[in-house]
Structure 1
Amino acid sequence: MKFFIRTFGCQMNLNESEIMAGLLINDGFEWTENPDEADIIIINSCSVREKAENKMYGAIGGYGKLKEKNKNLIIGIGGCSAEKERDALLDRFKKIDFVFGTRNVIDISNLVKRAMKGERFADFSDKLNEVNYSIPKRPFSKHHAWITIIYGCNKYCTYCIVPYTRGFEKSRPIDDIINEVEEYNKNGFKEITFLGQNVDSYGKDFGDKKPKLDLLIQKSAQFDSIKRIWFMTSYPSDITDSLIDTIAKEKKAAKYIHLPVQSGSNRILKSMNRRYTKEQFIDLVYKIQKEIPEVTISSDIITGFPSETEKDFEETVDLIKKCRFERINIAEYSPREGTVAHKYFEDNVPKHIKNKRLQYIMNLQKKINLEENEKYLGKTLSIIQEGKAGKNNTYMGRTINNKLIIFQSQEKLNGSFLKVKVNKVSPGPLYGEIIEIINNI
C-alpha cells in the first residue's frame, strides 16, 4: 500500500514527517509523492497562525474528494492543529479516518493499521519516552539532517498556541542524540540542525536546570563527516554565555542564530509575556555580534498586537535599526483561539494599520538587507549546494553564516562544498558563479 504525507508548518513538523515516513516504509508501506495514487494520506498540520490552519482545512477538503474514487482511502490528521481541535475534526470532517497528536508520532504504523481495520478514532497518547535514535527515518535530504532534541515549550507567550498543542518541555537524553548524530555521520551527512520550540532550553529539565545545547554542539563536532551544526529556534533569555562562546570557538558551529523578538516595546513585550526587555534584547544582540565574527541574526516580529500604539511601533522600528537583522519573519497579529490573548485582549488594532506597519517593516528590512549584502559583492564564499532554486540549472547554497547564494550548477553537486564568487547582490539572495569544487574540507 502506498502512503503520501503533506507537511505544513515548522522544521519540527518536517522532521516528524521524516520519522513517520521511515516507520511506515520499515513496516512495508510504500512512499509516493502523488496523492492521487495513495492508499493512505497523512496531513501533518500547523496551528501557529490562522493561515496555516486554513491550509489544513483546504487539504482535508481536497484529499477528501479522492475518496469518491477510492473508497478505501485512509486519511489521518496529525500535528498541532490536530492536537488543538482533537475529536472536533472527526465530527466536522466525515472523510477523516483518524486524528493523532504531537507526542505519539512514532506510533503512526499502529494508528494506520487500526484505521485499515475500519476503526475511526482520535488518539493523543504520549509516546515521547519511547523516542530514540534507532527509530527509522526517511530524510528528505541526502546531506542535511533535522534532529529534534527538545519537545514542547514552557514560556506561555500570550499570543502563542504552541504550549497547548506541544505540551511541557521534555529533552531527549544527550547520549541518545549523540548516537543519532553518529548514525548520520556514518551515512555521510554533512549538516545537522538541532530543533526545538525553545532549543536553547535543552537539558534544563535534567535536574541541574542548566541548558546543555553548548555541550551537544561540542560533542557533535567530533564527528568527521559532520561539517556544520545549526540550531533553531531560540528564546532570548535562554541564550547563555557558554553557548555564545561555543559558537564563536567551534568552527563547525553555524554562525547564525534565529532570535525572535516579536516587539520593541517593553509594554507590549510584557503584555506578550516575553521575559526580557527591549534593552536586554539589544544588549544580547550586540554581545553576540561582538563575540562571534561574521554572525548573522534573524528574528520574528508581530505587528498590531492588541493595544499596540504608534509609539510602541516606533520602538520596534528603533530596535530593528539597531540590531540590523539578517532577515525578519513578519506577521500581522491574529487571535488564536485557546490563547490568553484571545481570551482576555481585544483585537483592537485595525487591519489596515497592522498591514501598514507590516509593509513599513518589510521595506525597512529590505533596505538593511541590501546594505548588508553589498559587503559580499566580489567576495568568494564557501557554500554547500542544497538543491534547485529555479529553472535553467539554477541552484542554491548557503554559507556557514546562512547567506543564501544562487548560481548555475548541476544536480550531481547537491551536498558538495563549493567556492562561489558573488557577482550580484539583492535584498534577498546573493548571486554568483562556481569558482571551485571542494572535495575535502
Structure 2
Amino acid sequence: MSAEVISLGCRLNLSESETLRELLAASDDLVVINSCAVTSEAVRQTRQAIRRARKARPDARLLVTGCAAEVERAALAAMPEVDGLIANTAKLDPRAWNAAPRPLAEQRTHTRAFIAVQNGCDHACTFCVIPQGRGPSRSLRVSEVLREVEAHLARGAKEVVLTGVDLTSWGHDLPDAPALGSLVQAILSTFPALTRLRLSSLDGVEIDPLLFDLIADEARIMPHLHLSLQHGNDLILKRMKRRHLRADAVNLVARLKARRPDIAVGADLIAGFPTEDEAAHAGNLSIIRELAIVHGHVFPYSARPGTPAARMPQVTAPTIRARAAELRAAVAGERARWLADQLGLPQQVLAERDGTGHAPSFARVRLAPGTIAGTIVTVTPTQIIEGLLA
C-alpha cells in the first residue's frame, strides 16, 4: 500500500500534509501522523489517531511528526504503535524521509493550494506551547512564494490560500522586514490569472496599511477575515498576553465592513481561560454578536504544562465545557442568520471533489451532481440543508 498522511490541527498542518502526500507518494506501506499539540485535547486526539492507524494498518511503518512530536516527544516515542518521530522543522525535507521529490508532471492537480509562507512564532501567549513545537518565526522569501504559487497554478489550482503559524508576522525576519501586504501585492501583480487568493488566520494588530487596503478593495482577495481573537474581555486578553484589546478588534472589523460590507468574519475563541468569571465570559459571548462572527473556532481551555496560564487559578472543567457550548451556540446563531441572508444571492463557488464547494465568503455550498471539481460555477442558493447553502 502507498503512504497515508493523517493530519490534525491547523491549516498550516493541512498545507504541510498536502506536501507530504506528494513527497511520500512513492513510499510503500507508510503511515504518517502530522500531529497537533495546541491543547491537551489535541494531544489526546493525536494518541487516538496513532492507535487507530496502527489497528487499521498493523504492518505499516508508522511515523509521527508535527507539534506533538516536539512537545510530547518522549511520551509519543514510548507508544508501542510508533516506529519513529520526525522533527517538525525537518518534516518537509525529503532527506528526513529518505524520499526523492516527485517530478511536477507526476503530481496530481488541486482545486485549492495551501501555501505555508511562514512558520514558527516569536510571541509568548501564556496559554500556548506552539513556539516550543514550531520554533521561532521564519518566512519564505518572496521569490520562493512566487515559485510555489506558479507551480500550483500550473497544476490547475483556482484558489491559493496563504497559511502560517503567525501569518501576519511574515517578513519580520527577512532583510528590510517587509510586511505581509507587500507579499500579497507581489502575488496579485505577478499572477493576474489568479482569481482567488485567501488568507488564513490573521493577528489583527499586525495587519499593515497595504494589507488592509487590499483586503478592503481587491476583489481577488476573498471577503473572508479570520482573526486570531482568542477572547472578548480585556482583562483576559492581558492575562493571555495578547497584543490587542477588544476595541482593536471591533474597530478593525468596523473599518473593513465600511469598505467591504460583504466580508465574512471568523475568529478563534478560547472558553474558560484561567480566572475567567461570568462577566468575562459574557464579554466573550457578546463579541460574537458585535463582530457577527459566522466562522467560529471555539477551543475549551486546557492547561499545558510549563505555560504561565497553567499556574493561574483554573476554571472547573464542567464550567469550561458549558461555556464552550454557549460560545458555539452563539456562533451557530450568527451563522444561521448570515446563511439565511445569502439565499437568492448568486455565489461564485469553487467546486471540490466531494460535491460541495466554497463561496468567496467561505460559505459551503452543495453543488449539482456531476459538477466538475476545480471549476468555478455560479449558484443561486434557495435553501439551507444541514448547514450548507443549496
User: TM-score normalised to the size of structure 2?
Assistant: 0.91
Residues in 2 aligned to 1:323 and 1:338: alpha-carbon distance in whole angstroms: 33
- Aligned partner of 1:260 in structure 2 is 228
* Alpha-carbon spacing, 1:110–1:104, altered in 2? closer, same or farther (3 Å): closer
Residues in 1 aligned to 2:123 and 2:312: alpha-carbon distance in whole angstroms: 18
SS in 1 for 2:352: strand
Residue identity matched to 1:345: M
Say whether residues 1:409 and 2:365 are aligned partners.
Answer: no
Residue identity matched to 2:382: N
Residue identity matched to 1:173: R
Contact map agreement 2:196 2:222 (CA 8 A) in 1: yes
- Residue segments in structure 1 that go unaligned for 5+ positions in a row: 31-37, 114-132, 389-394, 432-441
Say whether residues 1:240 and 2:240 are aligned partners.
Answer: no
Structure showing greater Rg? 1
Alignment of 1:35-434 (within 5 A): 38=29, 40-65=30-55, 70=59, 73-90=60-77, 92-111=78-97, 142-211=110-179, 213-221=180-188, 222-342=190-310, 344-347=311-314, 349-388=315-354, 395-410=355-370, 413-425=372-384, 428-431=387-390
* Alpha-carbon spacing, 1:139–1:359, altered in 2? closer, same or farther (3 Å): farther
Q: Could you report, residue by residue, the CA deviation over 1:375-428 in whole angstroms, capped at 9, with x for unpaired residues?
A: 22222222111232xxxxxx21222122221232215x1111111111113793
Contact map agreement 1:258 1:298 (CA 8 A) in 2: yes
* Alpha-carbon spacing, 1:345–1:74, altered in 2? closer, same or farther (3 Å): same
- Aligned partner of 1:17 in structure 2 is 17
Residues in 2 aligned to 1:42 and 1:353: alpha-carbon distance in whole angstroms: 36
Higher relative contact order (CA 8 A, sep 6+): 2
Residues in 1 aligned to 2:145 and 2:286: alpha-carbon distance in whole angstroms: 40
* Alpha-carbon spacing, 1:60–1:357, altered in 2? closer, same or farther (3 Å): closer
Q: Could you report, residue by residue, the CA deviation over 1:63-104 in whole angstroms, capped at 9, with x for unpaired residues?
A: 44578x63xx422111110011224432x2244222122110
Deviation at 1:105, TM superposition (A): 1.0
Deviation at 1:225, TM superposition (A): 4.0
Contact map agreement 1:302 1:333 (CA 8 A) in 2: yes
Residues in 2 aligned to 1:323 and 1:135: alpha-carbon distance in whole angstroms: 46
Say whether residues 1:29 and 2:27 are aligned partners.
Answer: yes
Aligned identity (percent) is 26
Q: Could you report, residue by residue, the CA deviation over 1:266-320 in whole angstroms, capped at 9, with x for unpaired residues?
A: 1100011111111112111111211224111101111111110111111222222
Contact map agreement 2:41 2:302 (CA 8 A) in 1: no
* Alpha-carbon spacing, 1:176–1:59, altered in 2? closer, same or farther (3 Å): same
* Alpha-carbon spacing, 1:18–1:398, altered in 2? closer, same or farther (3 Å): closer
Residues in 1 aligned to 2:313 and 2:252: alpha-carbon distance in whole angstroms: 32
Contact map agreement 2:4 2:31 (CA 8 A) in 1: yes
* Alpha-carbon spacing, 1:14–1:138, altered in 2? closer, same or farther (3 Å): farther
Residues in 2 aligned to 1:65 and 1:134: alpha-carbon distance in whole angstroms: 29
- Residue segments in structure 2 that go unaligned for 5+ positions in a row: none
Contact map agreement 1:18 1:137 (CA 8 A) in 2: no
Residues in 2 aligned to 1:408 and 1:173: alpha-carbon distance in whole angstroms: 41
Moved more, 156-165 or 362-371: 362-371
SS in 2 for 1:423: coil
SS in 2 for 1:206: coil
Residues in 1 aligned to 2:12 and 2:261: alpha-carbon distance in whole angstroms: 29
Residues in 2 aligned to 1:303 and 1:147: alpha-carbon distance in whole angstroms: 30
Residue identity matched to 1:248: A
Moved more, 15-24 or 136-145: 136-145
RMSD between superposed Cα atoms in Å: 2.5
Moved more, 43-52 or 166-175: 43-52
Deviation at 1:110, TM superposition (A): 4.2
Contact map agreement 1:22 1:137 (CA 8 A) in 2: no
Contact map agreement 1:218 1:250 (CA 8 A) in 2: no
Residue identity matched to 1:308: E
Residues in 2 aligned to 1:289 and 1:20: alpha-carbon distance in whole angstroms: 38
Q: Could you report, residue by residue, the CA deviation over 1:41-61 in whole angstroms, capped at 9, with x for unpaired residues?
A: 221111112222112212333
Residues in 2 aligned to 1:201 and 1:81: alpha-carbon distance in whole angstroms: 23
Contact map agreement 1:19 1:136 (CA 8 A) in 2: no
